[in-house]
Amino acid sequence: MKVLLVEDDKVSRIAIYRYLSENGFECISLRSVKNALDVVFEQAFDIIFCDINLEDDSGFSLLEKIRESLLDIPFIFITASNDDDIIHEALDKGADDFLRKPFHLENLQTIIKRNIERKKIDFIRRSSNKESILLHAIKALIAALEAKDSYTSGHSLQVARYAHMLGEALGLFAEEQFILELSALLHDIGKIGMPDNILKKEASLQDDEYNLAKEHVIIGSKIITEINDLQEVATIIRHHHERFDGKGYPDGLKGDAIPLYSRIITIVDAYETIRAKRRYSDQQSMGYAFEELIKHSGTQFDPELLEVFIRMIRSTLSLKEKPKLQIE
Ligand SMILES: [Fe+2]
């Protein structure tokens, strides 16, 4: 654990430095705001202790610069003052705690532990909040899309489920799975801007209608690119109708040049579309769906991914069909 100590009083500085060093902390001790600014953005500190009155400036100016930079390190003021106004001002400006002079050196460890724990909890709370707001917004977007065409209702969710299963079979990490599933959920979000007469048309589309329908990958990608954290998802959506042989759209990417998660979605999207009952088609068997996919292996679909997908669906099914163990 690395501590930055900014204190111009020599006796306090040496006492705190010695105590922290003897108790397993790495401590950098400095006397001025200028010296502190030289190191604080260069090195990674876990906590800062800072006197309010320093030889060249006030500790407040160090605090302000750190908070302006969005560096989220616990900042503890060391002060001999009992002035409530100073305490309130410090808290308003983002100080986390106070160490009042005179103090017992033993209190330092408690203050360090308490403030680092608080920051961690704060971080978890903020990130889970952000995530749940984002997920709610995404669910609302998908509901809006599916409200346009009740026959495709559930398609995005089912595609995301299959993508999750294939991701697991490929050994993706949790964060990678999150990106893949979000992309699968949102892959057709661009259809939200598509005219109903094209979206719901049962007969095959005319050339100009087909060209308009193809735009959904670009529209979807543009919608999602507006969300800062989801740039990768926007790219995956853009390429989910590319073909392995390079004859897909919108960019005609070929083979491995197509993002991996787009290649996954291409397969599971096709499988779900064949298997589900829609206004324009009946539900087809698993065997029929596999035959259709295999026909296009290496042309539309990545052959290696397709093989893993088929094997994974078959083994999931055989697991389901295994008789339950009889326990006596
Ligand atoms: Fe699509």
- Please write the tens of the pLDDT for every residue from 120-151: 777 777 766 666 777 788 888 888 888 887 66
Q: Given the structure tokens 């050339």, which residue do they identify?
A: 207
Task: Give the SS3 label for residue 160.
Answer: helix
Given a cut of 50, is residue 75 above it in pLDDT? yes
CA–centroid distance, 245 to ligand 1, in Å, is 18
pLDDT-based confidence at 278, cuts 50/70/90? Answer: low
Please state the φ and ψ torsions of residue 282, each to the nearest 5 degrees.
-90, 165
CA–centroid distance, 257 to ligand 1, in Å, is 19
pLDDT-based confidence at 323, cuts 50/70/90? Answer: very low
Q: Which residue has the higher pLDDT, 30 or 317?
A: 30
Please state the φ and ψ torsions of residue 56, each to the nearest 5 degrees.
-110, -20
CA–centroid distance, 186 to ligand 1, in Å, is 9
Given a cut of 80, is residue 62 above it in pLDDT? yes
Return the CA Rg of the chain. Answer: 29
- Which token pair is 37? 């600014």
Pairing of strands 97-100, 2-6: unpaired
CA–centroid distance, 175 to ligand 1, in Å, is 23
Percentages helix, strand, coil for the chain (3-state, rounded to 5) are 60, 10, 30
CA–centroid distance, 312 to ligand 1, in Å, is 23
Is omega for the bond preceding 250 within 30 degrees of 0, making it cis?
Answer: yes
Mean pLDDT of 7-18: 91
Residue extents of the structural domains in the chain: 2-119, 149-321
Asked whether the beta carbons of 266 and 241 are under 8 A apart, the reply is yes
Asked whether the beta carbons of 202 and 208 are under 8 A apart, the reply is no
Per residue in 1-13, is it b (16+ CB within 10 Å) or e — as a string? eebbbbbbbeebb
Asked whether the beta carbons of 242 and 248 are under 8 A apart, the reply is yes
- Which token pair is 85? 């106004």
What residues are paired with 6 via a beta bridge? 30, 50
Closest to 239 measured CA to CA, from 225, 252, 222, 227:
252
Given a cut of 80, is residue 283 above it in pLDDT? no
Mean pLDDT of 57-86: 86
**Would 2-119 and 149-321 be classified into the same CATH topology?**
no
Cβ partners under 8 Å of residue 233, min gap 6: 179, 182, 183, 186, 224, 227
Question: How far lies 83's CA from each of 20, 21, 69, in Å?
Answer: 28, 31, 28
CA–centroid distance, 86 to ligand 1, in Å, is 59
- In the CATH scheme, what is the code of domain 149-321? 1.10.3210.10
Q: Given the structure tokens 């209608």, which residue do they identify?
A: 209
CATH domain 2-119 topology:
Rossmann fold (3.40.50)
Can you give the pLDDT at residue 63?
93
Given a cut of 50, is residue 209 above it in pLDDT? yes
Can you give the pLDDT at residue 324?
45
Mean pLDDT of 167-172: 92
Amino acid at 192: I
What residues are paired with 50 via a beta bridge? 6, 77
Cβ partners under 8 Å of residue 226, min gap 6: none
CA–centroid distance, 160 to ligand 1, in Å, is 13
Asked whether the beta carbons of 322 and 314 are under 8 A apart, the reply is no
Q: What is the mean pLDDT of the chain?
A: 86
CA–centroid distance, 140 to ligand 1, in Å, is 19
Annotated catalytic residues are 191
Given a cut of 80, is residue 257 above it in pLDDT? yes
What's the whole-model pTM score?
A: 0.60
Mean pLDDT of 1-20: 92
Amino acid at 286: M
